[in-house]
């Protein structure tokens, strides 16, 4: 395991996350926010492991800005800024929630506290289900609800979701944490009025390569080569493609690639009762005595 690369990626991710936390984004478009955060990652020598997620209010995850996205952040909004940095494919995944409405500050506090308590119990051999139990207990102490069908995950080179889940509630099917793996822990929290589940929305603006098989559309095949050369199997945004291709052409090619199962499109995830959601996230590597938190 390339611990050095995980640590380098984590240092960049941490700096950029804290900058995002302190910035007043009110009046900025989601496009400006995504481009700004991604540019900070690159200026520090990192590459984006996935498009910056700017999920507002009841959107829990998987929204990134469209090209020139006009949606403007207001003083009533709560925004989850989820960012990833990769060095040689080794990933740091971290997130912060910024609330401009004091009414929802409790969600931000709860997500951060649940993450802190979960990380405090990490060491080699800790069971994933015990982490979920701790997150659930903390969240309920604040009279909030954890999102049951969202979870943290193991990480591998060029793979964000590497097959193992770190739950946000107590669950069956536990596994022991290993010092040979990196993990992301990410409590998602909603209000007591929330259902505590997310559903898929119609919008899909984050994509990932599934295979490199050729199709009959030559323009689409060229885009696949570009995706592979620049993003490997990691997620990407249409915004990233339109820096090289006309937007209409890129959209058409992506539609063809999705239809032919060369590319997948990730749907946005929305709190099922339309309640606001907060998220906090760190990446860590277990040790014999605790956690090496790369994104601290």
93 catalytic? Reply is yes
Shared domain check, 222 and 157: no
Shared domain check, 212 and 196: no
Which one of the listed residues 161, 181, 247, 255 is annotated catalytic? Answer: 161
pLDDT at 56 over 80: yes
**Dist CA 145 CA 60 (whole Å):** 13
Shared domain check, 140 and 186: yes
Give pLDDT, residue 173: 85
134-165 pLDDT, tens digit per residue, is 999 999 999 999 999 999 999 999 999 999 99
Shared domain check, 226 and 190: no
Tell me what percent of the residues of the chain surpass a pLDDT of 90: 98
Which one of the listed residues 58, 66, 281, 282 is annotated catalytic? Answer: 281
Look up the CATH number of the domain holding residue 186. 3.90.230.10
Three-class SS of residue 202? strand
Shared domain check, 126 and 216: no
Give pLDDT, residue 172: 87
Expressed as residue numbers, the domain containing 249 is: 206-268
- For the chain, the C-alpha Rg in angstroms (whole number) is 19
CB 279 within 8 A of CB 188: yes
For residue 101, give both structure tokens: 């409405």
243-278 pLDDT, tens digit per residue, is 999 999 999 999 999 999 999 999 999 999 999 999
Three-class SS of residue 126? coil
Shared domain check, 194 and 47: yes
Which one of the listed residues 40, 93, 136, 256 is annotated catalytic? Answer: 93
Shared domain check, 186 and 42: yes
Give pLDDT, residue 186: 98
Mean per-residue pLDDT of the chain: 97
Total number of domains constituting the chain: 2
98-132 pLDDT, tens digit per residue, is 999 999 999 999 999 999 999 999 999 999 999 99
Shared domain check, 22 and 117: yes
Burial class (CB in 10 A: 0-12, 13-18, 19+), 188: buried
Which one of the listed residues 153, 256, 271, 282 is annotated catalytic? Answer: 153
Shared domain check, 85 and 60: yes
Shared domain check, 131 and 257: no
216-225 pLDDT, tens digit per residue, is 999 999 999 9
66 catalytic? Reply is no
Shared domain check, 278 and 187: yes
CB 266 within 8 A of CB 97: no
For residue 141, give both structure tokens: 């102490």
Chain Cα centroid distance, residue 62: 7
Give pLDDT, residue 46: 98
**Dist CA 243 CA 38 (whole Å):** 14
**Dist CA 296 CA 69 (whole Å):** 31
For residue 285, give both structure tokens: 């590597």
| Confidence class for position 1, pLDDT limits 50, 70, 90 | confident
186 catalytic? Reply is yes
The stretch 86-90 carries a mean pLDDT of 98
| CA neighbor of 243 nearest in space, from 27, 29, 51, 46 | 51
Which one of the listed residues 186, 256, 271, 282 is annotated catalytic? Answer: 186
Look up the CATH number of the domain holding residue 262. 1.10.10.10
């Amino acid at each position: 395991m390339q611990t050095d690369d995980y640590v380098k990626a984590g240092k960049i991710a941490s700096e950029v996350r804290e900058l995002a936390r302190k910035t007043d984004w009110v009046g900025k478009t989601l496009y400006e926010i995504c481009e700004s955060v991604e540019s900070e990652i690159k200026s520090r020598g990192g590459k984006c492991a996935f498009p910056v997620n700017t999920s507002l209010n009841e959107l829990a995850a998987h929204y990134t800005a469209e090209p020139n996205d006009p949606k403007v952040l207001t003083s009533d909004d709560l925004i989850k800024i989820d960012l990833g940095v990769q060095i040689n494919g080794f990933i740091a995944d971290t997130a912060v929630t910024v609330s401009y409405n004091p009414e929802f500050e409790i969600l931000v506090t709860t997500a951060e506290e649940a993450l802190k308590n979960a990380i405090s119990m990490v060491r080699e051999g800790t069971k994933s289900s015990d982490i979920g139990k701790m997150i659930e207990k903390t969240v309920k102490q604040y009279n909030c609800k954890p999102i049951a069908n969202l979870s943290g995950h193991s990480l591998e080179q060029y793979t964000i979701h590497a097959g193992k889940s770190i739950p946000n509630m107590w669950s069956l099917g536990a596994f022991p944490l290993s010092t040979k793996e990196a993990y992301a822990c990410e409590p998602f929290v909603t209000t007591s009025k929330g259902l505590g589940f997310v559903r898929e929305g119609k919008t899909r603006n984050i994509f990932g390569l599934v295979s490199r098989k050729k199709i009959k559309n030559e323009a689409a095949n060229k885009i696949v080569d570009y995706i592979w050369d620049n993003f490997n199997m990691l997620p990407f945004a249409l915004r990233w493609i339109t820096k090289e291709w006309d937007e209409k052409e890129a959209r058409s090619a992506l539609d063809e690639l999705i239809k032919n199962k060369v590319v997948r499109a990730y749907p946005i995830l929305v709190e099922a009762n339309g309640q606001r959601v907060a998220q906090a996230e760190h990446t860590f590597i277990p040790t014999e005595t605790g956690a090496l938190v790369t994104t601290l």
